[in-house]
Chains A and B, each alone.
Chain A
Amino acid sequence: MSEPIQVPVMADLMAKGEKPDILFWVGCAGSFDQRAQRITKAFARILHHTGIKFAVLGMEETCTGDPARRAGNEFLFQMQALTNIQTLNMYEVTKIVTTCPHCFNTLKNEYPELGGNYEVIHHTQLLQQLIDEGRIKLKEGGTFKGKRITYHDSCYLGRANQIYEAPRKVLELLDAELVEMKRCRTKGLCCGAGGAQMFKEDEPGRIHVNMERTEDVLQSNANVVAAACPFCNTMLTDGVKYHDKQDEIHVLDIAELIAQAADLGE
């Protein structure tokens, strides 16, 4: 059991006449998927701990429409986008942070054309900023000392938005050994979830994409795979299980790594 914390919901704040500095967009995975909920909680603890005035939309949040748009269902995407923009604009949201690179990309790059203009950052960017400002102190001794960590680039952070360094800068603080996989940064291999693949079986082929990617992980000899996307996380966790390595290799989000290293609880 960890220490209970309060998670402010937008509608409640509004009723009290308050406004947060930043909206935490949780996303479908972060809200519903049991594994991803742990990432959401870790990040919420970090926000709480650093005293940032944040809020979530709670029941008023709905899918950004990313998978619908990429599957080709533009109609559904725009319905979602227009609904969400209405909610966000009603609350006069100006700044959004999200733990999902897909939500991040859609909110940041695709909502403006439909009338939603916000400053959108990914949680790894916020974490880097908080650490730079000294607002997160990591535990003495280093929880991850002696571990080998490798970072898996999410397509929607890396190639899609040129964010390669922030997650790595954060990991550098963990006092662990950082190793790169043979395919990284612009050459990073997809986990296989994007483009709405997450929601259907793979097309016929030789091997699943996540298993191919996990082979890169195995080759790197890392004991921790740091992910920055809940979908990559699921894909890599499955891949590690497929290779029967779940006892030796842990797939963790960067927010979870920092929450552990700063002793903020699960």
Chain B
Amino acid sequence: MAVLVQQLLFLIVLGITGYLVSRKAREIYRNIRLGKPDDRTNEPGKRLRNMLLLAFGQKKMFQNLTPALLHLCVYVAFLITQIELIEIFVDGAFGTHRFFYPYLGGLYTFIISFIEILSVLAFVATIAFLSRRNLLKLPRFTMKELAGWPMLDANLILIGEIILIIGIFSMNTADMTLHHGEYGFAVSQWLMPLFAGFSDGTLHLLERFGWWLHILTVFGFLAYLPYSKHLHILLAFPNSYFADLTSPSGKITNMPRITQEINLMLNPSSVADAPPAAENERFGAKDVQDLSWKNLLDAYSCTECGRCTAACPANQTGKKLSPRKIMMDTRDRLEELGQHLNKNGQDVPDGKSLLHDYISPEELRACTTCNACVQECPVSINPLNIIIELRRYLILEEANSPDEWNKMFNNVEHSGAVWQLPADKRITWIQEIENG
């Protein structure tokens, strides 16, 4: 009876989680597709390599050893625990107990022991991460943009991780005690004395408690993931696959529509061949739909780690600009727009935009285009690309530019030089060197 009730409960929770996750996943997919097209399918071999090195191999993380190792513990524990999850699902759905044990025997003990050891490492790493975030006051974790929800998000996941590990060990230790150590798991056999003297009934209850704690945390995590910075666990993979093939690079994306306009201006007879531009297409980006889908995928993939901001020359010298904030703003705005679309459909504008409502011209104008943020990002995000698109909108559509820049533009336009000097001064140095 109890087994049947548990089976039923399991299936209900599974169903609810599945529904929530798939609904949110579809929404995120739709949101990303609001971005403009950008073909990133060439050179699949090289892309696959990037993905394996960066997402799977965590290449960039290893530029800084201690956090990389700690992160690796949590990451590998996460990956390997998925194996155990298969059994939990089977047991949950069919009311069995350690379904694979009779078939695998020694190998089973080995796998679970391995998971237990990783869990201990992950436990240590999680405690380290929690103290780093909350006690050490690293600048990149105490900045304004992390106040409130992002900080809570980070802590919630870390606490969830600890609950998960407590679940695993109460389940395994109680089970081991019940079966007099028969399974021989590497870590929980040392924990058995903790449960010594408990009645079989209590042990059984503890085992069930651990099992449910474990699986409910996993379900909770799954349902919560799409709202969290931890979505990077999944999106880091496609994001590094579709990343720029040379990154960082000094090359800024071209705007073929501007070339078209210039050609039209210089050669009006070419009007006929030019495909008409879409009515509402803007120069540069004012809102998230004006960015490319890759920019939007970037926003969902951001881990909010702040490595970009810590390396940013503008941010380090006290300017408002923070490349991490650029990414967080893009995601927040996209989520907001997504909610609006869910309620009102395509046709009703919500009167808000990424530029101005989220990101100010002052932030954008502090960027030196130095590429440090792109260089540092462990999951191949390019904040600079978004900054340039927003700058383009400011200049090309709003004519919103500091006076000094307007002067520079004027000089370039009229004398071909960035400074206000007559063009013939360009050869002064030649005259000087030829006269000795």
A residues with CB within 8 A of B:
1-7, 9, 26, 28, 30-33, 37, 40-41, 44-45, 56, 58-59, 61-63, 65, 67-76, 78-80, 82, 105, 109-110, 113-114, 155-156, 159-161, 186-187, 189-190, 192-209, 212-213
Q: Which residues of A contact B258 (CB under 8 A)?
A: 74-75, 78
Q: Of A4, A59, A159, which is within 8 A of B426 by CB?
A: A59
B319 touches A203 (CB 8 A): yes
Residues 295 to 322 of chain B near chain A (Cβ within 8 Å)? 311, 313-314, 316-321
B142 at the interface (CB under 8 A from A): no
Q: Of B259, B262, B409, which is within 8 A of A73 by CB?
A: B409
Interface flags, B403-436, vs A, CB<8A=1, else 0: 0110111001100111101011111111011111
Q: Which residues of B contact A186 (CB under 8 A)?
A: 375
Q: Which residues of A contact B251 (CB under 8 A)?
A: 105, 109-110
Query: Shortest beta-carbon distance, A238 to chain B, in Å?
Result: 14
Q: Of B372, B402, B416, which is within 8 A of A190 by CB?
A: B372
B229 at the interface (CB under 8 A from A): no
Q: Of A61, A72, A110, A156, which is within 8 A of B388 by CB?
A: A72
- Complex: A80 Cα to B369 Cα, angstroms: 20
B366 touches A203 (CB 8 A): yes
- Complex: A85 Cα to B392 Cα, angstroms: 23
Contacts A9-B430, A72-B388, A203-B366 hold; do A155 and B409 have CB atoms under 8 A apart?
no
Q: Which residues of B contact A30 (CB under 8 A)?
A: 429
A196 touches B405 (CB 8 A): yes
| B interface, size bucket | 35 or more
- Complex: A105 Cα to B319 Cα, angstroms: 26
Q: Which residues of A contact B425 (CB under 8 A)?
A: 31-32
Query: Shortest beta-carbon distance, A65 to chain B, in Å?
Result: 7
B255 at the interface (CB under 8 A from A): yes
* Highest count of chain B CB atoms <10 Å: which of A28, A110, A155, A195: A195
Contacts A74-B255, A159-B375 hold; do A203 and B362 have CB atoms under 8 A apart?
yes
B370 at the interface (CB under 8 A from A): yes
- Complex: A204 Cα to B365 Cα, angstroms: 11
- Complex: A51 Cα to B396 Cα, angstroms: 46
Query: Shortest beta-carbon distance, A98 to chain B, in Å?
Result: 13
A73 touches B368 (CB 8 A): no
Residue of A nearest to B363 (CB): A203
B250 touches A156 (CB 8 A): yes
B401 at the interface (CB under 8 A from A): yes
- 18 sample A-B contacts, Cβ–Cβ < 8 Å, listed by A number: A28-B417, A30-B429, A32-B421, A62-B416, A65-B412, A70-B391, A72-B394, A74-B283, A75-B258, A76-B413, A159-B375, A160-B249, A187-B311, A194-B368, A195-B367, A199-B418, A204-B362, A208-B317
B336 at the interface (CB under 8 A from A): no
Q: Which residues of B contact A9 (CB under 8 A)?
A: 427, 430
B284 at the interface (CB under 8 A from A): yes
- Complex: A109 Cα to B317 Cα, angstroms: 30
Residue of B nearest to A183 (CB): B311
- Complex: A10 Cα to B416 Cα, angstroms: 18
B426 touches A67 (CB 8 A): no
B249 touches A75 (CB 8 A): no
Query: Shortest beta-carbon distance, B224 to chain A, in Å?
Result: 35
Query: Shortest beta-carbon distance, B253 to chain A, in Å?
Result: 9
B417 touches A202 (CB 8 A): no
Sample of 19 more A-B contacts, CB < 8 Å, known A4-B434, A37-B428, A71-B409: A7-B430, A31-B425, A31-B427, A32-B419, A58-B427, A59-B423, A70-B252, A71-B401, A73-B405, A74-B258, A159-B372, A161-B249, A196-B405, A199-B405, A200-B402, A201-B402, A203-B320, A206-B318, A209-B317
Query: Shortest beta-carbon distance, B413 to chain A, in Å?
Result: 6
B395 at the interface (CB under 8 A from A): yes
Q: Which residues of A contact B419 (CB under 8 A)?
A: 28, 32-33
B371 at the interface (CB under 8 A from A): yes
Query: Shortest beta-carbon distance, A167 to chain B, in Å?
Result: 16
Query: Shortest beta-carbon distance, A26 to chain B, in Å?
Result: 8
Contacts A74-B283, A74-B392, A110-B251 hold; do A41 and B429 have CB atoms under 8 A apart?
yes
Query: Shortest beta-carbon distance, A81 to chain B, in Å?
Result: 9
Q: Which residues of A contact B182 (CB under 8 A)?
A: none
Q: Which residues of A contact B259 (CB under 8 A)?
A: 78, 82, 114
- Complex: A203 Cα to B433 Cα, angstroms: 39
A160 touches B395 (CB 8 A): no
